[in-house]
Structure formats: structure tokens, C-alpha cells
Chain A
Amino acid sequence: MALDQSFVGRTYPATDPYEVGREKIREFAEAVGDAHPAYTDPEAAKALGHPDVIAPPTFVFAITFRAAERVVQDPQLGLDYSRVVHGDQKFAYSRPVRAGDRLSVTSTIESIKSMAGNDLVSVRGDVHDEHGEHVVTAYTMLVARAAEEA
């Protein structure tokens, strides 16, 4: 079933702020095995010109994906979420995420396509801090695989 094209361009309200903690950044950096000191040592981060420890580049996905999930699980859109896999991911950074940030995500459906029975939904997540400064935009393409392929 083709998805409703009228959802293209729809923007969803900003999420409640997510407060980025130093220990959460440390936990994430350890989980991806990345020992760069800018993630755990405030002095090392300051030496590179950052006001506090920064998060690894993909850290923000945990926040933007939760926002994108709200979109693709919108019952009106009618996507079969049990068949969804991650197709593409891109980030465009204005600055790195850092400890103390309170981040909100505004999600927009950029495109909806059907290809060989698969539904492709592209969601843009614009991430701003508590001062309204743009931090990063996440572009997430999700693929709902055709039912007959399961």
C-alpha cells in the first residue's frame, strides 16, 4: 500500500529537552571504544577550544532517533514499523554536542517513496540547544521492507 504523500513536509513539535550528561557521554564513548580524551577530560576538551567535554559524533542519534520514531510510528502515516530497517544516516554539525546541552529535536518528513515494494521515509531532525542555537541536523532514512519479502 502506497503511503500518504500528504505527509511530506509535515513538521512535528519540538521534543522536550534532553540534558546531555558527562557520564552519559563517557558511557557512550566507552561503548564504542573511542578513547579520545575530549570525551572524558574537560581540560583536554578545552585545549581544543571546547567549553566542556564533547560527545562522539554519533551520540546525538539516540536523541534524534527517538524523535524520528514518534514520526514513523504516527498511526496516521500507516508505516509497518515491525519491518523498518535503517537505510541511510547523515549528520550536519554546526558544533559538537557537549555536556550540559539541553537539546530539543524538531522532526520533519522530507520525503516518502516506494521502491520495489519497499517504503522509504526520510526524516530530518533539527537539533537546537536551550538558547535556540543550531547544533546538528540528522537525516535519517528508514526502509519499511515489503511484506512478501519477510
Chain B
Amino acid sequence: MAARISFDDVEVGQELPSRSFPVTRADLVRYAGASGDFNPIHWNEKFAKEVGLPDVIAHGMFTMAEAVRVATDWAGDPGALVEYGVRFTKPVVVPNDDEGAVIEVGGKIGAKDDEARTVRVDLLVKSAGQKVLGMSRAVIRLA
């Protein structure tokens, strides 16, 4: 589609602007409604603890949605995304207070494909000092 960044202007190893995304219990309730994922581990503390979690955790797909914005906002067009994959390694624990948790996302160019004019953005996604997504990679077609 129409990414604003030119393929020729990008180098492997280049860092993308990092971002912080706050997440509260209210965000999780709203995401549950919008996505249709009403698993109680994302809103019911008692239930979450009964199944062995430390507390309510964010939907993995919520974290995945936040993380990719480092790549799509940088490129300018979310429709330029060709591929996006993650591994859910650690849950994002969201305490029941006004502050909640913070998802911190950094990104850098991991590879370039000259033929397809795509770049692979490697995302580093952490919360409370721990890596929460592994193998988090977005492939974007640039102008």
C-alpha cells in the first residue's frame, strides 16, 4: 500500500522510536467487549488466581496489538504490513489500581529484502522489566 518511509532510506540495525503503552483493568474490559474474548483471567482476579496466575493478566492479543504500532505508526500505513508474528512468553500482569501496567516496546530493522522492498522490524516488548513477547517480528512493505 502506501508506506511513508522509503525502502532506500532504511538500514539494517536502525532503531525505531520506542513507545510506552499503559494498560489498566478498564482497558481490558473494553478490549474484551471489542474482541469478544471474555476469558475471566482478563478481568476476574479470583478466577485468575484459582488457575495459578499472579493476578489478572492482559489479553496476549491486546499486547500484540500495542506492540505492532511501533512498526505501523513509523511506516505510516498499517495496511503496508505483510506479516506479523509473536510468541507469548510471559503474561502482562495488570494490578487493580489507577496505574495498571505499562507495555514498553522498542523496535529495530532486523533485515531488508531488496526484491520485495520489505523490511523486518524486530520488536522488543517488555512489561515490569520482563520480556513478554518473544520472536516478535513485523514485515512491512515500504515505498
Residue ranges of A at the interface with B (Cβ–Cβ < 8 Å):
27-28, 30-34, 36, 38-39, 47-50, 54, 56-58, 61-62, 65-66, 85-93, 95-96, 139, 150
Contact = CB atoms under 8 A, between A and B. Distances in A.
Contact of B21 (A33, A38, A87, A150): A33
A36 B77 CA distance: 9
B2 A48 contact: yes
Nearest to B86: A89
Which 3 A-B residue pairings sit nearest by Cβ, starting from the closest? A90-B85, A31-B34, A96-B79
A48 B88 CA distance: 32
A93 B78 contact: no
Interface residues of B, number: 36
B35 A61 contact: yes
A34 B69 contact: yes
Chain A binding surface SS class? mixed
Contact of B1 (A32, A85, A92, A96): A96
Interface of B: 1-2, 21, 27, 30-31, 33-37, 51-52, 60-62, 64-66, 68-69, 72-73, 76-79, 81-88, 135
B4 to A, nearest CB: 9
Given A32-B65, A58-B61, A27 B34 contact: yes
B80 to A, nearest CB: 8
Given A28-B34, A62-B36, A33 B27 contact: yes
